[in-house]
Amino acid sequence: MSRWRRFRHQNAILNGVSIYPSAAVNAITQVNDLSRPLSLVVSIEPNHNTDRANPTLKETVRDPNGEVIATNEFTKQFLTTIKPDVIGKYTLTIENQGGSLVSVGILFGNLPFVGQKNQLNLNLFGGLVTGGILAIAGIIALIAGLIVVIVDRRRNTRNKTPSK
């Protein structure tokens, strides 16, 4: 299974979800590793209703036993991490407490670049940096090779004596 498919399978990703006033939307993610924190990212997407006022949303996360382990109210983008205590399915509920329709994007689960103790895992980005450096070195070598070929051709044409 590719990394992207595994990421999509293990995390709840909702994009462009509309939440009516006094309504809620749920997302569920499976936790199999208690050493990695659950990450929650909620982005309020701009539309004609959210341009007028900041909508008030409330997030609630419940563990597999139904106990509330996190709850917050917010009006803009929201990012948090939660330490899971029990293996199982965790449920996120986003409730629209405002008076107008709101569209949100939600990412709920284990992000690959957030490791134990909420530390950023930069090993994931190491390959990207190395690839970028090698690409730049390759471009520089290509330019240097072209310069050598051009200079060599000019020398050869200057050194040729006209034959009579």
Residue in the block written with tokens 């909702």: 14
Tokens at residue 73, please? 């109210």
Using the 8-state DSSP alphabet, how is residue 39 labeled? E
pLDDT, tens digit, 9 for 90 and up, residues 36-88: 788 888 888 766 554 456 788 999 999 999 999 999 998 888 888 888 889 99
- Percentage of the chain modeled with pLDDT above 70: 77
Using the 8-state DSSP alphabet, how is residue 7 labeled? H
Tokens at residue 3, please? 């990394």
Greater model confidence, 136 or 15: 136
Greater model confidence, 4 or 137: 137
Mean pLDDT across the stretch 136-159?
Answer: 90
Mean pLDDT across the stretch 97-119?
Answer: 75
Greater model confidence, 5 or 42: 42
Q: How confident is the model at residue 135 (pLDDT cuts 50, 70, 90)?
A: very high
3-state DSSP assignment of residue 136: helix
Kindly report whether the global pTM for this prediction surpasses the value 0.95: no
Using the 8-state DSSP alphabet, how is residue 32 labeled? -
Expressed in percent and rounded to 5, the helix, strand and coil fractions of the chain are 30, 35, 35
Write down the pLDDT at residue 122: 57
Write down the pLDDT at residue 154: 86
Q: How many CA atoms lie within 13 A of 73 on its CB side?
A: 6
Average pLDDT of the chain is 80
Using the 8-state DSSP alphabet, how is residue 100 labeled? S
Mean pLDDT across the stretch 89-101?
Answer: 90
- Percentage of the chain modeled with pLDDT above 90: 30
Radius of gyration over alpha carbons of the chain, in Å? Answer: 27
